[in-house]
Amino acid sequence: MLCLGVESSCDETALALVEDGRLLHSVLATQADMHALFGGVVPELASREHYRYIGSLFDALMRRSGKRPSDIDLVAVARGPGLLGSLLVGVAFAKGLALGLGVRLLGVNHLHAHLLAVGLEHPLDFPALGLLVSGGHTHLYRMEAPWKCVTLGRTLDDAAGEAFDKVGKVLGLAYPGGRLMDALAREGKADGIAFPRPYLDNDNLDFSFSGLKTAASSYIQQALQPATWPRPLCSVDDAPQALKDCCAAFNAAVVDTLCVKTQRALDRNPQLSTVVLAGGVACNSLLRQRIADMMESRGGRALFPSPHLCTDNAAMIAYAGWLIGKEGYFHTLQMETIPRGRTVPDDMLCG
């Protein structure tokens, strides 16, 4: 079965083809440079750029893969959560293509696709514990099957990736700030700054990073002003040691919090011996090391996608579509698009 995946949930327009579980080819157009001018994604601009790119990307994908549109058996599309205008462009394109080709349509949960993407590179057995850490979400899942991920905990306000980017903006780092903060943290010392480990004084698996973001912003204003580095800061070489230490302390606080909740989830689900780390923050070097060490100490295993599969991409949508579609699941053309803030419903048909 040949599955086309369409991704347009935020500011990346991407399409990919997966055949029998193997990625054939993918194409992507990024809007990062444009949104960097505004310090964040502008939803109206993002949707217009998706509309501008998506048709030509499809043509390029067909040409480079050597496939024809008539070879496609299933069209999978990220239906949410995400920016509504951006999602609508991808969903409308997917619906039109499925209707025109006379093939099935499948709406994919963007968050679940992040977790499933690791299956493109590693054997993925179920059940497993999924830790999704991105700019918009910080969730823990019990992954029971490709089409069934049960939410164990979720972010209540700022997600971890959002906290990284917002603190990076306060520090004057080039957008997006999370990647550079990781590089700066590797050259800093975290033990001199006491940032809180937020929302741990409870017995649940939810996350809240707004307090940590506020504490870091307050420290920056009091201890690191006036700034002695160029703005926007684009290189680790231009950063003073005080900035590196601040990034190391903030990074450690986020990672400690994620690991405590992950450990808690594993203790409550002792039958789970695999942790899947996914999302943009899954590229964080300290988080990867800590999760790997945790699972080694428990006699389990940790699975990490390659960095290019951690950020938004269509390969994960196509692969998730292939996994779920081959079991007979699909959507009708009346499928609803789900914006951020709403739960993606379990409304697939099977047959």
For residues 246-274, average pLDDT:
97
What are the DSSP calls for 318-349, one per residue? HHHHHHHHTTTEEB-TTPPP--TTSPPP---E
- State the pLDDT at residue 262: 98
For Cα atoms 333, 117, 274, give the angle at the middle one, nearest 5 degrees: 125
The residue written with tokens 């099935």 in the block is 104
pLDDT tens per residue, range 266-277:
999 999 999 999
Q: Which of the residue ranges 30-39, 104-113, 184-193 has the most confident prediction, judged by mean pLDDT?
A: 104-113
pLDDT tens per residue, range 35-76:
777 777 888 898 999 999 999 999 999 999 999 999 999 999
Distance from C-alpha of 19 to C-alpha of 169, rounded to nearest angstrom: 41
Distance from C-alpha of 163 to C-alpha of 103, rounded to nearest angstrom: 41
Question: Please, what is the average pLDDT of the chain?
Answer: 94
Residue 328 clears pLDDT 90, i.e. is over it: yes
- State the pLDDT at residue 84: 96
- State the pLDDT at residue 226: 59
Bridging pattern class, strands 148-153 and 138-145: antiparallel
Give, to the nearest 10 degrees, the angle between helix 285-297 and helix 177-185.
70
Q: Dihedral of the CA atoms 134, 138, 142, 144 (nearest 10)?
A: -30
For residues 312-340, average pLDDT:
97
Binding residues for substrate: 132-136, 165, 178, 182, 284
- State the pLDDT at residue 136: 85
Residue 225 near residue 173 (C-beta atoms within 8 A): no
Choosing among 2.40.170.20, 3.30.420.40, 2.170.260.10, 3.40.50.300, the CATH entry for 127-304 is 3.30.420.40
Is residue 20 left, alpha or beta, with left meaning phi > 0 and alpha meaning psi from -120 to 50?
Answer: left
Reported as type and span, the H/E element at residue 103 is none
- State the pLDDT at residue 42: 86
Binding residues for Fe cation: 110, 114, 312
Phi, psi of 58 (to 5 degrees): -60, -45
What would be the CATH architecture of the domain defined by 2-119+309-350? 2-Layer Sandwich (3.30)
The residue written with tokens 């899954």 in the block is 282
Range(s) of the chain covered by CATH 3.30.420.40: 2-119+309-350, 127-304
Residue 300 clears pLDDT 90, i.e. is over it: yes
End-to-end alpha-carbon separation of the chain, Å?
16
pLDDT tens per residue, range 95-133:
999 999 999 999 999 999 999 999 999 999 999 999 999
Cβ neighbors of 153 (< 8 A, separation 6 or more) are 139, 140, 204, 205, 206, 207, 261, 265
More confident site: 347 or 175: 347
- State the pLDDT at residue 227: 65
Binding residues: 110, 114, 132-136, 165, 178, 182, 284, 312
